[in-house]
Amino acid sequence: MVNHVIRQLQLFDAINLFNLFNRISEEDKEFFNPHPFDYTTAVSVCTEASLKLDLYFVVTDPSGVIVGYSFLRGWKDGYKIPRLGIYLAPEARGKGIAKELLKYMIENCPSLNIQLKVKDTNYKAIKLYMSFGFYEISRKNEFILMEYTKFEK
């Protein structure tokens, strides 16, 4: 992951995050669609991130443009196990960034368990998650619910 930076989302990232949202294709929205991709949502997500209600992360390229967005969320709504979501822009794919981002998220998650939903045709993502120890809990329609359990050292 040369020259890319993984960091927590900040309040000042709203416009840059909205720009990423605008670049998400309709095809990608079939695999990643956790919320609307409008400016109001970008501001709301950045505000939540600054309040540390849930955890939100970004990947920036060398010029500071956000090329990846991820979250561990659900705590603010009372869930004990957070849900994980990851999106990488096409230009950030195939470079090992998803692997580094997932590792970073797991290391920074205070919960012992993490869950995610993945479309059953998203083979690359499923392979990545399984390589980290995520396992299938259930299937509903075309989605697989997976869980990861941290083991204390």
Digit-by-digit pLDDT tens for the chain (153 residues) are 468 999 999 999 999 999 999 999 999 999 999 999 999 999 999 999 999 889 999 999 999 999 999 999 999 899 999 999 999 999 999 999 999 999 999 999 999 999 999 999 999 999 999 999 999 999 999 999 999 998 765
Q: Is the Cα torsion angle 42, 47, 49, 53 positive or negative in sign? A: negative
**Structural domains for the chain:** 5-110 (3.40.630.30)
Q: How far apart are the C-alpha atoms of 108 and 48, rounded to whole Å?
A: 17
100-134 pLDDT, tens digit per residue, is: 999 999 999 999 999 999 999 999 999 999 999 99
Q: Is-above-0.75 flag for pTM?
A: yes
